[in-house]
Amino acid sequence: MPKRFRLTRRFNAAMTEDGYRRLRKFAAESGLDEGEALSFLFENFDSVIDEDTFGHRLRIFNSELDARKR
pLDDT (tens digit, 9 = 90+) per residue, 40-55? 999 999 999 999 999 9
Q: Is residue 47 part of a domain?
A: yes
User: What residue numbers bound the domain in which 62 lies?
Assistant: 17-69
Smallest CA-to-CA distance from 6 within 41, 30, 31, 35 is with 35
Alpha helix (H) residue ranges in the chain: 17-30, 34-43, 45-48, 51-69
Q: Is residue 1 part of a domain?
A: no
Q: What is the DSSP letter of 4?
A: P
Q: Is residue 10 part of a domain?
A: no
Q: What is the pTM of this model?
A: 0.76
Q: Cα angle vertex 34, ends 27, 69, to 5°? A: 105
Smallest CA-to-CA distance from 67 within 24, 12, 16 is with 16
pLDDT attached to residue 3: 67
Number of domains in the chain: 1
